[in-house]
Amino acid sequence: MFDKIASWDIIDLSSNSDAEIANTLKELNIPLSVGEAKKIQFSFLNRPPTLTELVLFSIQGSEHSSYKSSKNHIKHFLTDGKHVILGAKDDAGVISLSVDNNGNRYGLVVSHESHNHPSQIVPYEGAATGVGGNVRDVCCMGAEVVSLGDSLRFGDINRNKTKWISDGVVSGIAGYGNPLGIPNVCGDLYFDREYNENCLVTVLTAGIVKEKSVIRSKVPENSSDYDLILVGKPTDNSGFGGASFASLELEEEKKQQNKGAVQEPNAFLERHILKSTYALFDFLEKNNLINKVGFKDLGAGGVACASIELADAAGLGAEVWVDKIHTSMPELDGHMILCSETQERFMWACPKDLTQTILDHYNVVFDLPNVSVGAQASVVGKIINEKHYSVYYKNKKIVDGPIKKINEGFVYDRPMLQKNVQKSNEVLPKNIDYDDLILKILSHENVASRAVIYESYDKNVQGRVVNERGKTNAGVVAPFDSKKFPEEIKNDCFSAALAHNPSIGKVDPYVVAQYAIIEACAKTVSVGASPLALTDCLCFGNPEKPKQMWQFSQSCIAIRETCNLLHFNETNNLPIVAGNVSFYNQSGNQPIPASPMIGCFGKLVKDRVLMNGFKSIDNNLYLLGETPAFIGGSIVASVLKIKNTEIKKIDVKKYGEMLNCVLKANSLSLINSCNYAGLGGLATTLFKMSFVNDIGCVIEEDIDKELLFSENFSLVVEVSEENSPTFEDILNKNKCTFKRIGKTNNSNKIVVKNFIDLDVAQTKKTWENALRKKLQ
């Protein structure tokens, strides 16, 4: 019936039954519900839609693009604050990092995105294009991109498919990020069988820009008749329907078909486009033109999405001429050209007297057509004063509708139903060989050294990295360490960290989000940085299923409440400035655990950077925090096969006060090193701190065995004997709970009274090789 349908053909649903409408949508491969299709015809347009309009609404109205199920939950997030230059409004957030002697603020531009479904289907291409899109999101704010990070979740490590996916994803991240010349500075990694059919691949990107040089992801006011310029790779059919594909459950029988919804990466072309775009930024700044343009990455929905969002954000409309879009494939249908998610493309909106300058900049000065076949800059449309969106193809109008309705899509208040987890509280066995247990924990795939992963990445290219990946809990970068920045800000640094624990997500969707934020902040403070802002990638199952929607809602409540209770840098809260929502991470009846992936960016100066390992011998070791003891969802419970779901909420306000005590002490140069009790608990933390410089320790304080393995984010702080009285005074004045538990020494051993006596060097070897062996 629809074999020869054209982009401009009308799809009239007025005389069809719901079953007939559903069948029509299925035949056209358009992922709209019957209700949505009827709303398009009878409410949004008040006429039968064209094929292109149905496709466009399915993309702009998808979860990926319009946040139709999550919008009413995430709108309550805290997104503004003292250090926020631009909150979660544009393609990336901007936070203030430094101020020069002339009062100019320099911003850190941050973005956090997921590319889950594509990476499950074609791991290399899915992960690579995830990096490319995230980098462009940061660049299009006028920023130079200076760092990457990644948060990865894979299935059962014993499955060959898991190894294939993990190898492809890591290779894809390296294969795109390394040619771009951007250091990968942070990340985390978990293996869990509940990610067997839905891996998670999220990318965290940061760039730098002067506040007055920030470019908005919208056109300026009064910009009617601005030209829309498409820059980059010629459009093909790769990635067509990617946004819709990312907004559906993965079905095994459709995986081969869905490969076409994954874009094809070309990192070397993107590097050239980035270089040329940075040069254009300089030209615009020099000629006071920054506020005269709009700029966007072409991601989900391609030319359609970029042109719609540039215009609608300013209360204007747009007109697009599909025949002007440069393509690499003959006979592509108009709706495919309009909505293709072909990679390595940007869109500028500019006044007509600037158009030729931009075209010549890319096509002549940087010679795009000769760098990559078919690549160029072309005028493909314009901004109009009417709040309307029109698209023309082969002298026919194929889209003609209200731009706000197209951009807004659909909004749902999904029904929710609490998901109850069976309570269990098995305790640690009485008779345990603790030395053997520690070796098993350190060999666990979620604790062992991640070197086999991050050694594929370029970790210190650009010469700005202070703490490279693998050395510390958070990467540290000095982004202004070059001649083009003022001398007074060259020692200013930012940190970047990622956090989330799937085991907690299986038990409690509120606590897993609270823990992710707290752990991200703990990682940040452990390198001496004060948290500035958070990002999130909220990865969940099918929102149409009430229990999955309830889990999402609970995590959102936890994020809002936790952010409101954390105060750093004399701020009132810790804002969320960037992120995304990824639903439908579910195959059949098996959703992933609640997975709110949190990124944290902090601020510090070079001479206050802390290491996460023991620095010297004969120093005192302190355990800070309320230190609740529980083993629910812990590594020790997994290793010993103990059924325990008892986890405890953390007093966020008290925890934040403790972190501020550490920051205060570090500002006075009182601390030698710092770490936190994460995976594996206090015992694992002590060993990992010993591994850094091969320094042993003895813990003389009586430690409860559950506390030894409790993953409660208590801090271990190393302080010299000389500085200990002042350090303790700070803790006492701020009513921070602490106890001195032991000392570092030169014994090359870790000794914990009544429990552990192990050689550092031999244990370190076990930890370093375990994951590498499991992935072979």
Q: Which long-range contacts (CB under 8 A, 24 or more apart) does 748-751 make?
A: 748/694, 748/696, 749/696, 749/698, 750/686, 750/687, 750/690, 750/696, 750/697, 751/696, 751/697, 751/698, 751/699
| DSSP, res 656 | H
Angle between helices 123-139 and 160-180 (to 10 degrees): 30
The answer to whether 235 touches 202, Cβ cutoff 8 Å, is: no
- Three-state SS for 186? strand
The answer to whether 533 touches 574, Cβ cutoff 8 Å, is: yes
Please give the order of strands across the beta sheet that includes 345-350. 294-297, 345-350, 227-232, 376-384, 317-321, 388-393, 396-402
The answer to whether 311 touches 389, Cβ cutoff 8 Å, is: yes
Quick one: tokens of 557? 């409540």
d(CA 186, CA 470): 8
| CA distances, 439 to each of 247, 397, 433 (Å) | 42, 68, 10
d(CA 156, CA 411): 36
- Three-state SS for 46? coil
Helix (H) or strand (E) holding 754: none
522-552 exposure pattern, b = at least 16 Cβ within 10 A, e = fewer = bbbbbbbbbbbbbbbbbbbbbbbbeebbbbb
Number of H helices, E strands in the chain: 27, 28
Please confirm, yes or no, whether 272 is among the known catalytic residues: no
Distance of CA 537 to the CA centre of its chain: 5
Instruction: Identify the active-site residue in 64, 83, 117, 444.
Output: 64
Question: Nearest-CA neighbor of 552 among 424, 423, 679, 412?
Answer: 412
| DSSP, res 139 | H
Which positions ≥6 away from 478 have C-beta within 8 Å?
464, 465, 466, 490, 491, 492, 493, 606
d(CA 709, CA 397): 65
- Longest pairwise C-alpha distance within the chain: 85
Which residues is 148 bridged to in the sheet?
Answer: 184, 205
d(CA 682, CA 701): 13
d(CA 113, CA 582): 9
Instruction: Identify the active-site residue in 73, 83, 112, 115.
Output: 115
Which positions ≥6 away from 209 have C-beta within 8 Å?
94, 106, 107, 109, 141, 142, 143, 144
The answer to whether 384 touches 317, Cβ cutoff 8 Å, is: yes
Please confirm, yes or no, whether 76 is among the known catalytic residues: no
Quick one: tokens of 471? 């050395």
- Does the CA dihedral 717-517-166-148 come out positive or negative? negative
d(CA 321, CA 460): 43
Q: E strands of 155-225, at which residues? A: 184-191, 200-210
Helix (H) or strand (E) holding 378: strand 376-384
- Tokens 């820009």 identify what position? 209
Q: Which positions are catalytic? A: 64, 115
